[in-house]
Each structure stands twice: as C-alpha cells, then as structure tokens.
Structure 1
Amino acid sequence: MTTTATPPRTSFAWRGLFLRLHFYAGVLVGPFVLVAALTGVLYALTPQLESWVYSDQLRVPVSSQQLPLSKQIDAALATSPQGTLVAVRPAPEPGDTTRVLFAEKGLGESERRAVFVDPSTGRVTGDLVVYGSSGALPLRMTLSQLHRNLMLGEPGRLYSELAASWLWVVALGGLVLWITRPRNSKRIRTHGLIGMWVLVGALFLSATGLTWSAYAGENVSTLRQAFGWTTPSLKMPGGSGGDHSEHGEHTSSGNGHSDIDTVLWAARTSGIDAKPVEIGLPATPGGAWKVAEIGRSWPTQVDAVAIQDGAVVSSVRFADYPFAAKLTRWGIDAHMGVLFGWPNQLVLLLLGGGLVALVALGYRMWWRRRPTRGFGRPTPRGQWRKAPPAALAGLGVGALVVGWFVPLLGISLVVFFAIDLLLARRAKTT
C-alpha cells in the first residue's frame, strides 16, 4: 500500500492566507500598477524620442571652431529672454548645442527656460522649458509627470505611491505561492512564470519608487539622515550659488558672466572631467560659481566644485559619498533608465511589459473563476484562524511597523480588512 504525504497543516494555512492577500491585493491595486507600468515604459523611451522630436534645437553641424562660452551667452541674451540668467550647460559633444538657462516668472517648480545656441556660430536654434537636474525637455517632462502623478499635481502622487507600496507585497506574496504550490501539479500558470521572471525587477522598482513618494519617501529621508546616509551637499561661501532661488543681482543684460570661461577652466583643472556639466552663476556679486558634473550613466560622474576668484573653495566628490548615498544615486538613475544606456532602457521595457502582462493575466484568472460562474470564492474567509497564534501575532506586529513606515500601504490594508469584515458580517445575516 502506498500513501501520499500530506503537507503540514500550517503550510496549508499560510498558503491560504497569502493566496487571499495576493488575490485581493492584485485585484484592487492592479489598475494602479498597470498605469504605472505603461507610463514607465513610455518614459523609458524618451531619450530617443527627445533626440528625434527636438533635433532642430539639440543638433547642429559639427565644426572644429567653437566660440568662448561668454560669447555663446551673449548670443542667447541677444534674443531678449524674459528671465534671469542662472546657469549654462556647454555643448558636451561636437554637433550638440549649448544650453543657456534662465529663471523665469510663471514657470513651475524646478523649471527653467533654455535657449539653445550653436557653439561654433552663436546661432540660436530655439528655446524650450526644461525640467529638473536631468534637463528634461517638454516631451519627457510631460511623460515624467504622467508617470509620477497623472498630471494632477501633488494629489496625483497618491496613485504612484499606492502602486509602489503594494507592488513588493504582491510580488513577495506571489513568490510564496510559487514556492508552496503543489508539487504534483503539472500545470504551470503563465501568470506565475512571468511573476518569477520579473520578481527582482518589481522589488527594485517598488523600493526606488518609494524613495520619491510623498509619505513613505519622507520616512526614507528621515531614516537616511538618522544613519548618516544622506547625499553630501556642496558648501557655497556665504550661501551663494546654491539653488538660485534669489537672483536679484543678475539681469538679462548678461552682467557677471564674462568670467565663465575662466571658471570652467579652473573646474576642469580641479578634476571636473565629465563632458556634460552645468555652470551655475553666483547668486550675489563676487559670490562663488558652482560647476557640477551631470553625467548619470555608468560610471557615475556627479562631482561638484565651488569656485571663487578663480580658485576652488569647496568640493564634493562622488567617491566620498556614503555607500548608501551611492546606492540611492544608482537606484534612481537605473529606475529612470539612464544608468547603463540602452541596455537599461531595454530591461525597463521588458519589466514594464511583464508587469502589464501580469495584471492582464491576473484579471483574466479572476474573470474566469469569478463566483458568479459557480466556482465559489477563490479562497474562503477565515484563513488567518488556521495559522499558529504566535506566528500570526508576529505577522501582525510586522504589518503595523511596515504600515507605519509605508502609510498608504497601512491605510489601504486597514480599509481592505474593514471591508472584508463588513462583507463577512453581511453574508452571515443574509
């Protein structure tokens, strides 16, 4: 006589609990993950799209001649821009244009007006609003805001934070279900197989996405400060040249930029050797200039120096960053698809496509096995009662801690349990 080994009762209990959580979390959070994945895929394509859409502003004939930066700025100022000159990004490669950046009233946070100048002739090729330290052009800026907040401002950020908050929970729940699936089952669902392929990437996107979020991101920042993991900032003498929030002493007439070629030479001799750099003008007369590397590809080049009277007075080197700060920098750049160039973009495209497929297949499974077709509930209520009390208590404490650190996860989990209890009570009374 042969007998079939029966898994311990505890494993069945835990599997039922995770199955129920995974199923309902996927159903409720699936739309948010789907939108985040689709908009993320679009954003990953923006470097090539920008190069094509804005080729007239970005590209010029290659020439061996190049005007001094001060003359290029004069050419930009000759167009009478309605703003304050705050920074310059010299052409990083032959055939690229120089960006002369202006702070302008009416622009949004982190937005600046960029005038594009041919470095060899001084011809202005156009002007566009650019965004952030990456210098994103309008197309990428639009797709970035769509991915971040659905173009709804701060309230819209709740959608992306909710997706990032639950993505790792759903992913790890899927891993538990895959590991504990019946070994005698010959059927391997495509949903589970794809889930295993995208597991690491999903966890990465969730973790890096939370660092940008409104509520969990604030807790991450507090934690980094407590352990000294923050990114070092460049010390500017007298507080000048920092974020350029005040530029009352600079006008669009261009006074004060004649020394920019000397400043760039001093920065280059001090070790600022990345091709893409941004030169920030002093915020006050006689203040310090800020020259920062803005290369985000591997190897990372984000060194920065403050220059005053032709000498380096302060510097920050990426090599001196705390390891956690380096991980943060690499994680953000990989999330954006710029760390390893097109291979990074390809991975994000595959990962985004995998998440879209997972959501679609998950809803397909739910639709085919919905209760109205006679299958009953996928997993009955009360699975938590089968789990050992001590383990259940530990799980509850862990959920409280995680829910406090990731508030949208905690709030939505409480709402989920409340609705489930109300539905259970209603079912008993009918």
Structure 2
Amino acid sequence: MISISRTADYTIQGFLYQFHKTLLEIQSKPSEEFVSIEGIIEDVEVFTAGRTEAIQCKYHESIEKFTLSQVYKPIIQMMEHWYNSGNKDNGVTYILYAYFPHMFGEEINLTTEDIEEILSTKNKKLSIKAANLKGKVNIKEFLENFKFEFGHSMDDLKKVIISNFLDLGFKEEYVDNLIYPNAINFIAETSTLHSEKERTINIGEFLQCLQKIKNTALSKWTLSLRSFRSIIQTRKKQLNVNLQQNSRLRYFIIKEEFIEDFDQNIVTFIKEYLDKYHFKIVHDRTPLFCLDCSDHKFNEILVRLHQKNIKANHGLVASDCFDEAYFFGNPITNYKKRQIISREFEIRMLHIKRHEILNRYKADDLFILSDNDYFLNSTDVNYEKIELRDFNAIKFVLGMRDSYE
C-alpha cells in the first residue's frame, strides 16, 4: 500500500503546486524563452522581454479563510530582495501565486497601509527581517513591481495544463499518463540540481524532449499526483511489452535502504519472479539480482535463498575469489519430456560492490529499484528506473500480481 504521512503529504503537495505553476509558465511563454526552477530570487523565474518574473508559490488547501498574515513571510522575503537590489526598479516583477479555497478569481491590491502592517509583525521569526526594512524600503515603487494572484486549485491547475498540452500539439492519448507526469517529474528533478545554470531550461528544448518520451516516470513525485492510480496502471502496461517476451535477459539492482520492506520480502520477491518469468524451457536467460546492501546482509540472503531451495550462482569459487566467467556461464539444465527437471542455478546474485561488471555483460532489461543511478552504461539496454518503495507496488507494475494494495 502506497502511503504518505499527513505532514509529509502537505509538504509534497506544496512542492507539487510549485512544479505545476512552473509547468504552466513554460506552456504560456514563447519557446525561445528560459525558465529557472528554484531560482536565486524565488521558486520560479521566467526571463522574458528583458525582465524577470520572480514567482513564489504557496498552497493552502486546508485553510478555509484567507488572512493577510498568512502571506507575511513571502512578501517580506520579496521586499528584502527588492531593498538589497537598490530599493528601485531592478528589472524584476515579484509575483506571489497562492491557493486558498474559495479565493480563485478574487483580487487583492496591496496598499501602503498593508505593507506597513506587514512590517509591524510581532511574529518572532519575521520581526527581525521586518525591522530591518521598516522605514527603509521604497513601498510605493515595490508595489508597482509586485503582483498578488490567487491561483487555481491543484486539480484545476492540472486541467489547464492538460488543455495547454493539447493546444501545443501533444497527442491526447499520451498527455494524461505520460507527458504530464513526466513533465512534473523533470521539473522536480531539475529543482534539486546544484547550480542556477543547471536549473535553467529553454522552453522549446523542454517541450521537444517531452515529445520523445516513451515511458512514464515512477517517482515519489509522480506517485504523489492525484492521478497516480492511473499512472501506475499505465506503467504496468508499458513494462508488459518486454516482460511478456520469454527469452529476455533481465537484471535487477535493488537497494535495501530504499525499499521499505526489503528484508522481510526480498526472498519471496525473487521466488515470485521465478514462478512468473523463469520456469519454462523457453525462459532460457538467467535473471540477475544485484543487491545494494551490506556484505553481511547479502550473505544472509544467500542462506535464506538456499533454505527456500532457490539455487543461486554468486560467482565465488573460494571465500573471496570471484570468477566472472563462471558467474556469467550458462547453467547445466536437465530436461525430461520437454519439461525442466533441474537447473544448475536459477538466478545470479551479485553484490553492489561488483556492479560495474554489468557494463561488460549487458542485459536486455535493467531494472533499477532504487533512488540511485549507479552510472551504468545504458547504451543498447532497456533501462527502467522504478522508484517504488513497496514490493507490492513493484510486483504490480512488473505483472506479478493483479493489485498493489
């Protein structure tokens, strides 16, 4: 069951609202313009016509009634940047884009009196910054370069985004569960990059990249979208294209710390995979499981596999002598009446410390069940990153079960 705590959910929803607003800006601006995600000034910065639109997003789904005190902090932060930039027109338009229930379409034009009220705040966390600005900031000119917009709800924002994608020429059947979640995921990943240059994207190039995407990203961001049930169903269908092929060499890299129920379920996961995809004569490519865990845990899992009567080739011909040729050799298989009687080994088990050898012996499909990338060469490999933390959900998208709850 995929679950998120209420506090974590509110935090993630706040970030998602920012990413949705970023995507809306990308869709509404000319293709030659640039957008900076998590900019130097604010959450989103759009560079157009010689000016910068610095947008800060706030999402308050649970607050029924709006009061000005709820946006003191972002306004003070904007005024602080304004003041530090010379207290005069600095080529920046400051935009506060906030969602409060029942406020969409309403207009609030802040006055000098409103700003003076904000700068007189008694809030301990804000009062020091406010005191440094009081009597110093050019309020009149700041307000001429400031906008306060009440935004759409998350659901309505998505509807606008979907409609915009259709207007931009994206095919309707791909928008909801492919283009839209991948766009949000790309923006989320870009927001974590270190330098402003890395976080700045050209709108035209971004839209072209989306046109080429074939697989839906599964990450904490796409699984936090309201449409995640449909997204995970779509991903299952995409993976099924290759999973239904019998003779296919598949590698799995599985990170212990990433999977919530790793220790309890890793052995049964491997067993269920074999029962589904490696039991027929035509299943002639031995699956490989590379575990990102401690040496102690790896050896413990080898023992547990043995106790489950699963024969594993771990490549060791002595206590610490790993033989690549033996590890990647084909197992001796015994048949009777077109049935498999026994295999020398059913799986290959590799510790993460040796994972670089996978570049020399490439798979058809490489499944990464981790938040790491491992810097493996994906040329001529079907690279599938599945950032699901629950084995039930993983089994679902891999076609090993009919539900994930």
Quickly name the TM-score band, shorter chain normalised.
under 0.3
Q: Which has the higher strand share?
A: 2
TM-score normalised per structure 2: 0.25
Query: Structure 1-normalised TM-score?
Result: 0.24
Higher helix share: 1
